[in-house]
Amino acid sequence: MRIQRSLQAALLLFAFAAAACAQQFPVTVGDALQRAAIPPESVGIYVQEVGSQPPMLAVNAAQPFNPASTMKLVTSNAALEILGPTFTWKTRAFALGKLRGDVLHGDLYIKGGGDPKLILENFWLFLRRIRSKGIREIRGNLILDRSAFESVPYDPSQFDGDPSKTYNVGPDALLLNYKAVGFRFTPDAPGHAVQVASDPPMASFPITPPRLTGGECGDWRTRLQPVIDAAGARFTGNYPAACGEKTWYVHPYQMTHTQYFGLVFRKLWAETGGTLTGEVRDGAVPANAAPVADWDSAPLAEIIRDINKYSNNVMARQLLLTLAASVTKTPANTVHGAAVVRTWMSGKGIDAPEMSIENGSGLSRTERISAVSLGRMLAAAYAAPTMPEFIASLPLVAYDGTMRSRLVNQTVAGKAHIKTGTLNEVRNVAGYVLAASGRRYVVVCLINHLNADKAYEAQDALLQWVYENG
């Protein structure tokens, strides 16, 4: 009996010691946090071997943090499991009217399904399909059906006050080319002028170039003083010759989605030999409209690689709304999308009362999740049939995506798939580390603090520590 009591006491002491150890930072991580002046309460860490229940390390694991772009892991994994890796978005064309020869005496309709990657090349191929059906001239209107997503007001300046940033583009059921424009500036010194070209090209879109000046390049974007809307682009400022050739990608926020779509459509349709005599406006596809052509997107497994490896916020927003539309069968909104994700998490046995989803991309000041909730989701993802597609979508440390320049000379290089999350006062990493032992670990480190921009050293030290000690 005395031996049994001694053994129980020893086991209890060991449990307490293990719990205490799990709440302590590894020395290299703690030292880096101290150098960065980041207090322990601003850090949430969860490390767990996949397939094993107790965590190897847990610090403030249940505390809610702003996840920044690590929220994309939740959105993309939910989509993979709910929609399936082969899911595709469909963009469809319909005609209402009589086709006489190659002239459509009526309207052409294009109905969007929320494709996150209807880029210029794909759209051109879609238009070629429409032309191949014998339609050249449209003696009517182009009508855009974007009813798959609920029409709600959207302020592109709400997040950070800079609506021209491409990451501030709002979601749209007929999102074309991310609704972005690239302006290429080329100084022409002999002509004392600046040549400006736009990509994508747009019909009836005049560009007034900036003045060519001397001096250092400096903050050349601010000097341009742009005004970009449906009437064209006017650069009322100047462009230093010392800048050479540069390209600036912007969100033309003073132009509606419909205006942008119409300008690009008219240009590309004309390049295929087609003409459009009417207007471009919004509307719904009538029940008696005849199908003309379809365009299927790349599969979801490919789409989430762009979302996670390169942290594409616009595509992630589209994905959350796609979840809502696919599950609720009604015009999608973010509230329904968040509810779909929460229900999916609960179905996996992950209770995350602290989780808050605003748009599913992490480009938010209100989204929240804890390290343990995110960690448990990652552990469950590893056991799911879609595990290969999910892990392949994460940046490979020291090789690609947002982790391509980190830990390049460390032994963990190439041994971890890690998603990053970055906002002002927020630095996060989450994903998987294949340790030197051959065991794989879920790793989550969320840091919300004024000095978060100095957190890289501590987070890299954590990934290296897990690789060496896991």
Give me the residue spans of the domains in the chain.
21-86+301-469, 90-153+256-298, 181-250
| Inter-residue contact 44 to 444 (CB < 8 Å) | yes
**DSSP string covering 93-110, please?**
EEEEEEEETTEEEEEEEE
Residue 191 has pLDDT above 90, yes or no: no
Query: Across the strands, what pairs with 92?
Result: 111, 294
Span 284-289, mean pLDDT?
Answer: 98
CATH fold group of domain 21-86+301-469: Beta-lactamase (3.40.710)
Residue 8 has pLDDT above 80, yes or no: no
Q: What is the 3-state secondary structure (H, E, C) of 431-443?
A: EEEECCCCCEEEE
Per-residue pLDDT band at 23 (split at 50, 70, 90):
low
Per-residue pLDDT band at 113 (split at 50, 70, 90):
very high
Mean pLDDT estimate for the chain = 94
Q: What is the CATH number of domain 90-153+256-298?
A: 3.50.80.20
**Which pLDDT score is estimated for 17?**
36
* pLDDT digit string, tens, across residues 41-72: 999 999 999 999 899 999 999 999 999 999 99
The backbone torsions φ and ψ at residue 361, rounded to the nearest 5 degrees and listed phi first, read -100, -20
Span 188-201, mean pLDDT?
Answer: 94
**Which pLDDT score is estimated for 401?**
96
Span 240-256, mean pLDDT?
Answer: 97
* pLDDT digit string, tens, across residues 440-461: 999 999 999 999 999 999 999 9
Here the tokens at position 462 are: 């954590």
User: What is the total residue count of the chain?
Assistant: 470
- Name the 3-class secondary structure at 160: coil
* pLDDT digit string, tens, across residues 195-225: 999 999 999 999 999 999 999 999 999 999 9
| Type and span of the H or E element at 390 | helix 387-392
Please give the Cα distance from 357 to 342 (Å, whole number). 9
Conformation bin of residue 244: beta by default, left when phi > 0, alpha when psi is -120 to 50: left
Amino acid identity at 41: E
Span 32-41, mean pLDDT?
Answer: 97
Is the N-terminal amide bond of 200 cis, ω within 30° of 0?
yes
Residue 432 has pLDDT above 70, yes or no: yes
